[in-house]
Structure 1
């Protein structure tokens, strides 16, 4: 990891006009023989290009291409897709357009559903898209059956009522890449699901007993407990997201100290979160969870608005491996007017 950090640092220094050409050359000539990371090799290649050593830059990027496809589970941020997108972007930045274009077909076939991408993959794909569009030149598209919208970042956008009635023709000189986003409202709440994680959610009162979400009164306070366990042997960057019903507000979040003594002792052991947020519409917590370990978070919410509301299910996922996730089933909550 230190070797890869040095590659990134050398690239950033070169990009900022403070590069160290001697160290970049040493990294290429010596360190690269013992490095598996395609991203690190591409960063050194881009740094060399920025410093004017085009021959070593091309060599480094070719070695980066040969390293594509490896996976290292101990590195949360690494994935083959992240590396591929980054090498495409860095090759363009280094002026090695033939190397970048040779990888584009691999990139087109590797991109997954947006909800399955982790944050690193999303960032690198945007970086690759930026360079691909920049290299393609001016964008000129003849559109029919579509309403133009304001451009975002210089890229044209349209709203389409029926896809079958819309047509788009690339009237420019370079290749373009399109994104089609379809939005809608689900007819039913998603069911409970567990993929490498278990998750449960329960409402309890201040005496420790269970609370019926279907018979609350305005002003009632409840403790929401979200707990689960990892079935993975390795550690993960866990994120828990629990959306609130429309009639609830969060009063406070609870931590390990709150469960040691006092009125919340009956909750037992609570996990120590790196981040806990009481947002207007949800509770969010994040922590580094060891392999095969359990977690429990809790917060206090108040029923503030009378009505019959959806009680959404809580969600948990590995931030850098979105395929590891869990969700509890949705319910209904009924809040009666206060006396």
Structure 2
């Protein structure tokens, strides 16, 4: 664990106790430890990173507003660190969210107008592209304000397969072990398929891997656990690794694995049934290192057809 966390928690405890003077000293020491943190090795046993730690300090400091901490500078550091990352871990995301909530509650001062109407800070607005018109936002106060614009959307083309730190393959079989390709051969309604996902990590990384396989709209999961002890009696032709955690969701299959030594390959499988006739998008499966999220892979997206078996 990095040494700033005990100082940070001590500062929060002192602030709750009402000892603001010593709380300010503890918070200041926590910020100083951020500056003295050794180079980030990419993975730490406490699941942390410079981004996670800075967001954590900001979250608690913004809650208590010690006079010794420059919250604006910390917020800029968090923004800079996030902008430098293409992918972030759940630890980084959760602490950034807490920091955003804490700083948002503290930024009620200021005067903002939207299309000429006076509003109090902070101001949040969400607009859809359809029917969107230009808006005018202005700072009518005497203190600086920051404006952030975020744009999100869906790709117009299906994602291609990618690989960084992993290779990932997805295969389909009939329950007897016969291989099928649903992208080439229509699947009859009520057909059961075994979906086999094979992951090959190029290095151990954090050793904690998350696999997710979104379902095409015409499929439903019938059995999410075909590993030993999970209904494998009829699928002896499968050689599977035991997940630490499995979820059967309405829209995807999820499995988590944890290892302390490098693995040449990891195989997991689940049983689906084709339930709805039609032509559907077949999303790509994904795998990622949960605490080194830049290491990930996904299969290419495609399409499949489910044919009706009768009236």
Cα distance between partner residues in 2 of 1:278 and 1:201: 17
Larger RCO (CA under 8 A, 6+ residues apart):
2
Name the structure 1 match of 2:125: 157
Q: What is the aligned partner in structure 1 of residue 108 from structure 2?
A: 137
Q: Deviations over 1:29-48 (max 9, x none)?
A: xxxxxxx4323321222212
Which structure has greater helix proportion?
1
Compute the displacement of 1:248 (Å).
0.9
Shift of residue 67 of structure 1? 1.8
- TM-score (structure 1 length as normaliser): 0.77
The counterpart of 1:221, out of the listed 177, 180, 192, is 192
In the superposition, the TM-score normalised over structure 2's length comes to 0.84
1:37 aligned residue:
3
Structure 2: give runs of 5+ residues left out of the alignment.
none
| Contact 1:91–1:97, Cα closer than 8 Å, also in 2 | no
- Which residue number in structure 2 is paired with residue 54 of structure 1? 20
Residue of structure 2 aligned with 1:66, choices 32, 35, 41:
32
Q: 1:285 aligns with which of 255, 265, 282?
A: 255
- 2: CA distance, partners of 1:165 / 1:206: 56
Counterparts of 1:314 and 1:288 in 2: how far apart (Å)?
Answer: 19
How large is the Cα RMSD of the aligned pairs? 3.0
Question: CA–CA distance in 2 between the matches of 1:267 and 1:91?
Answer: 52
Instruction: Point out where structure 1 has 5 or more consecutive residues left out of the alignment.
Output: 2-35, 149-153
Aligned mates of 2:133, 2:299 — CA distance in 1: 37
Q: Give runs of aligned pairs for residues 164-183 of structure 1, distance below 5 A.
A: 165-172=134-141, 176-183=145-152
* Aligned twin of 1:6: none
Q: Which residue of 2 aligns with 1:7?
A: none
CA contact (8 A) 1:140 1:171 kept: yes
State the shift of 1:313 in Å.
Answer: 1.1
| Contact 2:206 2:291 survives alignment (8 Å) | no
Deviates more, 1:108-117 or 1:319-328: 108-117
**Shift in CA distance, 291/203, structure 1 to aligned 2, threshold 3 Å:** same
Runs of 4+ in 1 over 6 A off after TM superposition: none
Within a 5 Å distance, the mapping from 1:232-271 to structure 2 comes to 232-257=203-228, 262-268=233-239, 270-271=240-241
Q: Residue 251 of structure 1: CA displacement?
A: 0.8
